[in-house]
A and B are shown apart, each in its own frame.
Chain A
Amino acid sequence: MYNTPKTSYSLVGTAVPRHDAWAKVKGDQAYSDDWAMPGMLYGKVLRSKHAAAILRGVDTSKAEALPGVHAVLTAKDVPNNIDISKFGQMRDVGGGFEGLYKALADGKIRSRGEAIALVAAETEEIAEDALKLIKVDYDVQEGVFDPREALKPGAYIVSSEDTSNKIMETKVEKGNVEGAWKDCDIIIENDYHTTPHDHAYLETECGMAWMDENGVVTLRVGTQVLEHYRTIARILGLPHTKVRNMSVMMGGGFGGKEDITVETYLALLTYKTRRPVKMVWTREESLEVHAKRHPEYLHYKTGATKDGKILCQEAHIIMDGGSYTYLTPWVQMYSTINGPGPYNIPNLLSHSVSAFTNNTLSSANRGFGATQVNFAYERQMDELARALNMDPYEIRLKNVVKNGDEISTGFVLEGHIALTEMIKKIREKLEATPKPDRLPDGRKVGRGIAVGQMSYGRLCFLHDSSRCAIRVELDGTITLRAGVPDVGAGQASALAQICAEELGLPIEDVHPFIMDTHLTPLCGTSTATRQLYMAGNACIMATRFVRDIIARKAAKLLDCNPDELTFRDKQIVFINDPQKSIPFVTVVGHVSNDGELLFHEAQFNAPFTEVPDLTNIKGRIHPDMTFTGHGVEIAVDEETGEYEVLRIIACMDCGKALNRNSVEGQMEGGAVYNLGWLREDLRWQKGVTKGNSFSTYLIPTSVDTPDVETVVIESGGGLGPYGAKGVGEPSDNTICPACVNAINDAIGVSFHTTLVKPEQICLALHEKKQRGANG
């Protein structure tokens, strides 16, 4: 009802600059670290040197005695050290979805870098000196670092609270897998592995906190989940009204600022010292301790007819949850449901188990479980095409879901499915020029494609909602209030654009005030590619409520019906006679004078379902899906193993591109983000992160990627404003398998891991040569 397509737009669909772009380009945008207060202390975290240990004791006496130190806190100083992790959902959903959350280590140390103690001191240097004076008595344990080992009987138990390392087990099943294998002409079976991946936003985790004059613990910390204030309040034993986050624009998030980062530590330190406290994590700290993308071990078995129709597929997934639960069960839902990919497979089984290990914890990272399985099923699809000597486009066209088809859980999507069109467009674009076998410099050339699906909007059983408020000022400008965390993807600006579109105003006339837990209506998390869908719809509801009041007043003044009028160029005009109009601001004056409402706060609810049976997930688990694809061309130097991505074609059905620059920006940035996954190596060794700086953990630079060529499809078939779908996370999922497929096309080596560095290509080519010589 709130998605009535408009026939013409003035702002929607354009590349209008975001409301905050000028502040950022001028150097005026303040982030979490760009604040200071008189009397401010510096907070530092003492982190475990060992990945697995029993914490025997912590002696803080020497640190406390150091001049300039105001507080040294350990687990015993935390009012409620143990809680459950929640991510802004309204209720406990059960089913293992709420995991243990500890503010500070207690009992077993579960990963290297786990927080043991906090210090607040007058300078950063004194705080660092104090950390060195804290004596920790560790009883070092063997630990377990591979989830497959962790699940075996007799494995080292990671946690002091559980008796098993298993976090969750879940399954999606359809048809009769066992019975279907016999009907297949071909069966292929492969193991895949995806590596941990860091978000590597350029702004590390940081912020400050202070006590306000009424005893409210006040934070200024950029976070993707404002609703964490509730968890912080529980940890401190305070009512929800006494913890506030006046949050601020983030220097990137990508899921890495979805979990609590510095907030709890800052709140504890400021509550104890009654002084403002600042904390900034170093890059090393950020790379070592914040959550990573789940490493997964995936076993795929696929059966098809000789003409390429898939009859049957089994996926068994083992996920490394790392040290704590955090979002593992949620990520696992995404991996399990998306396990079969966007294919119409009559008989399927997607089974997953997650386990604790003593590795850095795993949690949200752009792609959220969908990206790991996307790698596996798209590599598997290429393997199948090769085995059948089939064209990689044809085999996909033959099997992809179309409108009206069921997805793995038996649910039929309400939104549009544009996969067929996408595959054809990618092919057309990639094959516009014939593929050379080699470049003039001798490098071998290969091409690859991959498609994928990912939801936008949260799991429906979380009963997600979002709010937005509009107030019309008497000069005809608009104050928009929204608790919308902005990670830099333009979340807030999109709301301003929607509001301006609806009221026929320039975007400059709408000012968004955002991200305050207690002054702006909570929009819910900037996660799950949900914000445009959820807050966007809430914004349309709020704006149209106010617009209707103004339209009725204008109709009265113009002696006509409201439906004869439209809002355009700061005027309210007759649709059929655009010369006749009345200024928007004039009507606003009349509404105000007559004592009618010029404000409204609206709430949009996503579809609600109940928690599914995890042993056999059925039905609507997500509101809808976004479908994406990448086509790439790669050149491989067979001598050095070095490869260069020559072309990236990114294709997506975004439903409706509200802001063209923002949609392309997500598609370009998403492609390069996961292009990095191929080479970014955290080099975990027994829980130690060796890739802990930007000189060892190498994210793509401008010379490591070509210009991404975007192909935007606008089917209008999404559940967001004006038919939009979510684009943020889905934009990165298919690049990695497309590249590895292209490498295979170039040199005939099939990699089953996401980590493909030149040395691995060299080694694989060497082995291939050996096999050739021996065979």
Chain B
Amino acid sequence: MSEMIKVSFTLNGKPVTYNVAAQTSLLRMLRDNYNYDVKCGCEEGDCGTCTVLVDGVSHKSCITLAAQVEGKSVLTVRGITYGDDEAGHLLQKNFVECGSIQCGFCTPGLIMVSKEYLNNGGIADRSAIRRAISGNLCRCTGYKKIIDAVYKTAKEIGREERQNV
């Protein structure tokens, strides 16, 4: 039997404590506790579908150990949905309106890396956005409309605009 550990952290603004086997990944801990907004696409750190922010930094939760978030703050897409972060809500609205969503399976992870990009002062620059989201795969959209949504959000929150040639 594997050793059980207790992990206490802040999940979407609320303190939680989960008991998990020591080798459990952050992804499994979240999903085993019904946080189904975090999706699993490969469980090998390749696709970015399970991306969450840990203390504001994007992590592929499948290759992050649950124990690593002890005492930290974890943000998932529902944290944005039910939080009061206006830029986050604007980002979600623009994903909806720009047609950035098809099957939607990659969407929660892409919202999180886009949010990180904006949190870090990211500007309305298609090349920079393209690079920022490049660790997250999407098989449906061809990425254009996702980049559209992040670009539009950056512009709407007053960031500098840079046209790529």
Contact = CB atoms under 8 A, between A and B. Distances in A.
Interface of A: 15, 17-18, 20-31, 33-34, 36, 199-204, 249-254, 280, 282-283, 487-490, 661-662, 664-665, 668-673, 693-695, 699, 701-703, 705, 707-708
B49 interface: yes
A27 B50 CA distance: 12
Given A27-B37, A203-B41, A254 B139 contact: yes
B131 A703 contact: yes
B141 A699 contact: no
Per CB-CB distance, the 9 closest pairs between chain A and chain B, nearest first, are A488-B103, A27-B37, A661-B99, A24-B104, A251-B105, A694-B46, A668-B142, A672-B142, A27-B77
20 contacts: A24-B101, A34-B36, A201-B103, A201-B105, A202-B139, A252-B140, A253-B103, A282-B43, A283-B42, A283-B43, A487-B103, A665-B102, A665-B141, A672-B142, A672-B143, A693-B42, A694-B137, A699-B139, A707-B147, A708-B142
Interface string B113-152: 0000000000000100011011111111111111100000
B139 A708 contact: no
A196 B72 CA distance: 45
B78 interface: yes
Contacts of A669: 102, 139-142
A26 B101 CA distance: 11
B89 to A, nearest CB: 10
A671 B142 contact: yes
B96 A22 contact: yes
A671 B141 CA distance: 9
A123 to B, nearest CB: 10
B103 A27 contact: no
Contact of A24 (B107, B133, B134): B107
Given A25-B95, A202-B49, A703-B131, 20 more contacts: A15-B97, A15-B99, A21-B95, A23-B104, A25-B101, A25-B111, A201-B103, A203-B41, A252-B139, A488-B105, A489-B102, A664-B99, A664-B145, A665-B141, A668-B141, A671-B142, A695-B46, A702-B136, A702-B147, A708-B142
Contacts of A671: 142
Given A15-B99, A702-B146, A31 B34 contact: no
Contact of B104 (A249, A282, A695): A249
For this complex, into which size category does the number of interface residues on chain B fall? 35 or more
B4 to A, nearest CB: 14
B137 A699 contact: yes
A254 B41 CA distance: 16
A21 B147 contact: no
Nearest to A703: B134
Interface in B81-96: 81, 92, 95-96
Given A668-B141, A693-B46, A702-B146, A202 B37 contact: no
A705 B131 contact: no
B142 A30 contact: no
A707 B165 CA distance: 12
A21 B107 CA distance: 10
B59 interface: no
A129 to B, nearest CB: 13
B72 to A, nearest CB: 20
A199 B137 CA distance: 13
A36 B34 contact: yes
B50 to A, nearest CB: 10
Nearest to A206: B40
A202 B106 contact: yes
B106 to A, nearest CB: 5
B76 interface: yes
B104 A251 contact: yes
Given A33-B40, A673-B139, A702-B133, A490 B102 contact: yes
Nearest to B91: A25
A279 to B, nearest CB: 14
B15 to A, nearest CB: 20
Interface string B62-89: 0000000000000011100100000000
A36 B35 CA distance: 12
B143 to A, nearest CB: 4
B7 interface: no
B107 A25 contact: yes
A691 to B, nearest CB: 12
A23 B107 CA distance: 10
A672 B102 CA distance: 14
Contacts of A708: 142, 144
A25 B96 contact: yes
Given A489-B102, A702-B146, A25 B92 contact: yes
Nearest to B104: A24
Contacts of A694: 42, 44, 46-47, 137
Given A26-B81, A36-B34, A249 B145 contact: no
A664 B126 CA distance: 19
Contact of B47 (A202, A282, A490, A665): A202
A529 to B, nearest CB: 15
B155 to A, nearest CB: 16
B12 to A, nearest CB: 10
Contacts of A282: 43
A665 B146 CA distance: 10
B105 A26 contact: no
A89 B5 CA distance: 53
A280 B78 CA distance: 23
B101 A18 contact: yes
Contact of A488 (B96, B98, B140): B140
Nearest to A673: B139
Nearest to A697: B46
Contacts of A702: 130-131, 133-134, 136, 138, 143, 146-147
A151 to B, nearest CB: 34
Nearest to B143: A702
A157 to B, nearest CB: 36
A33 B35 CA distance: 12
Contacts of B146: 702
B163 to A, nearest CB: 13
Contacts of A34: 36
B103 A203 contact: yes
Interface in B22-43: 34, 36-43
A283 B45 CA distance: 11
A703 B135 CA distance: 9
B141 to A, nearest CB: 5
Contacts of A200: 139
A78 B55 CA distance: 51
Contacts of B137: 202, 694, 699, 701
A355 to B, nearest CB: 30
B103 A252 contact: yes
A737 to B, nearest CB: 18
Contacts of B134: 701-703
Contacts of B126: 707
A194 B116 CA distance: 40
Given A664-B145, A665-B140, A202 B105 contact: yes
A21 B93 CA distance: 9
B46 to A, nearest CB: 3
Contacts of B131: 702-703
A15 B134 CA distance: 26
B96 A21 contact: yes
Contacts of A661: 98-99, 145
Contacts of A203: 39, 41, 103, 105
B52 to A, nearest CB: 11
Contacts of B43: 282-283
A707 B144 CA distance: 5
